Structure 1
Amino acid sequence: MRWDLAVREAAVLGEGPTWDPVTGRLIWVDILSSRIHTYAPSDGRRTVMATEQHVGAAKPRAGGGLVVNLRDGVGLYGPDGGFSWLVRDPVAGRRANDAAVSPDGALWAGTMRYDEAPGGGTLSRIGPDGTVTEVLGDASVSNGIGWSPDSRLMYYIDTPTGRIDVFDFDGQLAEERRPFAAIPATAGHPDGLAVDGEGGVWVALWGGGAVRRYAADGTLDLIVPLPVRCPTACAFGGPDLTDLYITTARVGQSAPHPLAGSVLVLPGAGRGLPGFAFAG
């Protein structure tokens, strides 16, 4: 399986790729540059929007616009670009990180401390009405989130654990956390993930220069080496959801690869799952 270049960019910390089927665009963020990017593979058109705070994730809303996981909480952009806070909860030294929309239209939003202090982050469910339910209060670097094809399992990564964990999922709360796959430190650190139509879990390996696919039973199925040292997250996109887009980062590297910070793609990597739009 061979990678290709989708978007040449010098993002400091590219993250959170998400396919928006309504607009036919890939949405992704540069966390530390406070930017939301979009890319349309059909014609190559790109947009860049600045946010007032570091932005961990941006996801489509059912009525148009975006829900964004920001440093001080969760905000909403309307179809006209207007902004409002849905949840505002600033904590000194803490910022937003990865997030995902569950099958019921809620946002599962992670946080972490800038210094990555153990236990300094959270994972919370944000309902469409702004109701916040803290699910995990002792995360360190809350990262990848995804659901199985039947929505009965939720996968989750707290990067320093070196694992992909899995929960039974009942639509509201994730319970019975258990290991799904362990990644040896020599291979890199698990970051963002994507689930395909066969229940396979793809994970970007920060510092490992690769993405891995684990089969639905947790066994390692595929390793795809990449030219950059720090891929951050992956998502299926394109009209048939068969292309795997991979965001990457430059931060913390004295001599980053020329493509670090760009978006890479694995054409025809598999059959992805349709995403969900935030219901608020």
Structure 2
Amino acid sequence: MQVDSAVLAAARSGRAPTWDVGTDSLLWVDQPARSAHRFVPGRADHAMELPQEVSAAKPRSHGGLVLHMTGGIAVFDSTGTHRNWLVYWARDGVQAGATGVDAKGRLWATTLGEGGWLARVTGDGSARVAIADLPAAHGLAWSPDHTRLYLVDGAERRVDVLDFDLDAGSVGERRALCEVDGEPGGLAVDSDGRLWLAVRDRGEVRCYTADGTLDRTIALPVQRPTDCCFGGPELTDLYITSATDGVADPTETDGAVLVVPGLATGQRPCSFSG
């Protein structure tokens, strides 16, 4: 299996890789370093410094970015110079967590810590808590038919699945899909419905079928992978972020953004409607 280093970033905690189809580039963040990045394959990785920790940067349908920051959800214009808070929900002891955009352009975001939650944010800034008392949700992704929402529960070390109503923007009861003998991170779902999960303390990405069966494991040249997404012109390359925080003796590769070319075909990413 070919695994390449796309960006030798030495990130403290790289997260939320997101392919931006409008610019053929990869968005990713280094949360504790307070930076959002845009990587243009074959060219350069551009960083934007931020005043708070940031757990994700996603494209907006009207141009610019939406960022999940410690204080809440913020939108940046297309120049990257003007920021407005869309939702401000700062709480003591609560950090920004996982972030996803559904096929209707709604943003779904978790917070980490005691009293954490999963919230739905619409383009006009309306926010509603979908799941309360969720301390460690590290990943969100949807099935190709948009009828399932997958949620990574780091506290319970498992991946859960919830029935998803795309038109209503609502979720059903959680049920366990698979247990993970490791520390689960973020995940991506390909066009065939398989789940690709970063396992943070195992140095690997695992592939699970839609029924939760382990299908394959890919060993990585990093000790602490954190998240993954599909990207590239045909959405066939798996990009994987990693961290140096929590690594006792980091190598040159730790903290890099990795890429596994031609692995599978991902789903077309969605842009936030706000």
Q: TM-score, normalised by structure 2?
A: 0.97
Unaligned segments of structure 2, at least 5 residues: none
1:162 aligned onto 2:161: no
1:179 aligned onto 2:176: yes
Shift of 1:122: 1.2
Counterpart residue identity of residue 142, structure 1: A
Provide the secondary structure at the position in 1 that maps to 2:32.
Answer: helix
Take 2:79 and 2:30, find their aligned partners in 1: how far apart are those partners?
A: 22
Contact 1:59/1:68 (<8 A) preserved: yes
Take 1:135 and 1:143, find their aligned partners in 2: how far apart are those partners?
A: 16
Contact 2:157/2:184 (<8 A) preserved: yes
Cross-structure match for 2:98: 98
Cross-structure match for 1:66: 65
Cross-structure match for 1:211: 205
1:49 aligned onto 2:79: no
Contact 1:227/1:257 (<8 A) preserved: no
Take 1:230 and 1:139, find their aligned partners in 2: how far apart are those partners?
A: 23
Within the candidate set 248, 255, 260, 2:242 is matched to 248
Per-residue CA shift, 1:122-149, capped at 9, x if unaligned?
1111111111110111111121100111
1:263 aligned onto 2:257: yes
Counterpart residue identity of residue 262, structure 2: G
Contact 2:94/2:116 (<8 A) preserved: yes
Contact 1:237/1:243 (<8 A) preserved: yes
Runs (4 or more) in structure 1 with deviation over 2 Å come to: none
Counterpart residue identity of residue 149, structure 2: M
Shift of 1:46: 1.8
Counterpart residue identity of residue 159, structure 2: I
* Counterpart mapping for 1:1-280 below 5 A: 1-41=1-41, 43-81=42-80, 82-113=82-113, 119-171=114-166, 172-184=169-181, 188-280=182-274
Provide the secondary structure at the position in 1 that maps to 2:133.
Answer: strand
Give aligned pairs, total: 271
Take 1:146 and 1:254, find their aligned partners in 2: how far apart are those partners?
A: 31
Counterpart residue identity of residue 145, structure 1: L
Per-residue CA shift, 1:6-32, capped at 9, x if unaligned?
111111010000000000000000000
Per-residue CA shift, 1:16-60, capped at 9, x if unaligned?
00000000000000000000011111x322210011100011100
Take 1:265 and 1:134, find their aligned partners in 2: how far apart are those partners?
A: 34
Take 1:67 and 1:158, find their aligned partners in 2: how far apart are those partners?
A: 24
Between stretches 126-135 and 27-36, larger displacement belongs to 126-135
Take 2:115 and 2:218, find their aligned partners in 1: how far apart are those partners?
A: 32
Take 2:64 and 2:265, find their aligned partners in 1: how far apart are those partners?
A: 26
Counterpart residue identity of residue 205, structure 2: V
Shift of 1:3: 1.0
Per-residue CA shift, 1:140-192, capped at 9, x if unaligned?
112110011111111011212111111110021111211111112xxx21110
Per-residue CA shift, 1:86-138, capped at 9, x if unaligned?
0111111211122010111111011113xxxxx43111111111111101111
Aligned-pair identity (%): 42
Take 1:46 and 1:247, find their aligned partners in 2: how far apart are those partners?
A: 14
Counterpart residue identity of residue 48, structure 1: A
- After superposition, the CA RMSD in angstroms is 1.0
